[in-house]
Amino acid sequence: MKPAPFDYIALNSIEEITSALNEYGDDAKILAGGQSLVPAMNFRLLQPTMLLDINNVSKLDYVKLNGDKTLKIGALTRQSTIEKDEIIKEKFPLLHETMPQVAHSQIRNRGTIGGNLAHADPASELPAVCIAMGAKLKLISKEGERIIPSSEFFQGMFFTSLEPNEILAEIQIPIPTEHSGFSFMEFSRRRGDYALMGVAAVVVLDKNNNCTEAKLVYLNAGDGQVDAKKAASVLGGEKSSPDLFIEAGRIASEEEIDPFGNVHASTSYQRHLANILTQRALKIAFERAAKKEQNHD
């Protein structure tokens, strides 16, 4: 199929973007990488009457570390740029480790981080990882800007808290604590395909290797990313152990996620995957955090 008729404007500044969004509102869609938008338009799942091309707005394309506290990524930054960035590789390993699992390399060459997050696909890796890392998102409109936690940005399947006159402009990620460990795991039929289930795990250990903080965020586990707080809470004050990970996996898979099932995986199989992936991810996350503690000593 071909898209419904639409008008097109190439914009050159953030000011032009916010003015155009203010004028066209719900009738407009932003074109960045186009890896999700264009297929949806071709199938006429989306029929915007105005397409706003922001690829000339270089002020939205950057990766920079703000002191030693926060990583800032412009929304127009290509996913392949993030994948290869040395700062991210060194200081934000969870994001670095996740990027090669986002679709295929050809898609990452065009796809942007902002477009991926704004699309809010429940099966997408980056929203889950942003929530696990405690990322915040900067939204800009003609009236000004606001910064919200990524956990509040995603409201459901393909639905966010973005207003029609706003653009997602920047992703802000706090630098991980010294004694944190991480792991990202997903299962798909083929590399690059949509994950049947996935989880981002982050833990923080004290000097005795007891867990003081934990995050477990799942993708393709419901109508949005699932922040499994109950499963994460059982890790508090505990050391690494198979029984602990089994219990966390059981709680997450039986009580917190709500997968839909599909032609490739029943809901029971998705729950099974969540359980197993949780156990594996936590084992690795605890090991990495403990290794950091040993190196620090």
Structure confidence by residue, pLDDT tens digits, 59-115: 999 999 988 799 999 999 999 999 999 999 999 999 999 999 999 999 999 999 999
Q: Answer yes or no: same fold for 7-53 and 58-174.
A: no
Class of the CATH domain delimited by 180-296: alpha beta
Q: In sequence order, what E strands does the chain have?
A: 7-10, 28-31, 50-53, 63-66, 70-74, 136-141, 144-149, 154-156, 159-160, 167-174, 180-187, 197-205, 211-219, 226-227
CATH architecture of 58-174: 2-Layer Sandwich (3.30)
Q: What is the average per-residue pLDDT within 269-280?
A: 99
- Report the share of the chain in percent with pLDDT over 70: 98
pLDDT of residue 293: 62
The neighbour count for residue 7, using CB atoms within 10 Å, is 12
Tens of pLDDT, residues 251-270: 999 999 999 999 999 999 99
Tens of pLDDT, residues 195-226: 999 999 999 999 999 999 999 999 999 999 99
| Among the four given CATH numbers 3.40.1180.10, 3.40.50.10470, 3.90.190.10, 3.30.43.10, the one describing domain 7-53 | 3.30.43.10
Distance, CA of 269 to chain centre = 23
When pLDDT is cut at 50, 70 and 90, the band that residue 295 belongs to is low
Q: What is the average per-residue pLDDT within 220-245?
A: 98
Which tokens belong to 285?
């996350």
Q: Residues with Cβ < 8 Å from 144, sequence gap 6 or more? A: none
Residue 15 pLDDT more than 90?
A: yes
Average pLDDT over the chain, rounded to an integer: 97
Distance CA 32, CA 19 (A): 17
Ranges of each domain in the chain: 7-53, 58-174, 180-296
Q: What is the average per-residue pLDDT within 17-29?
A: 97
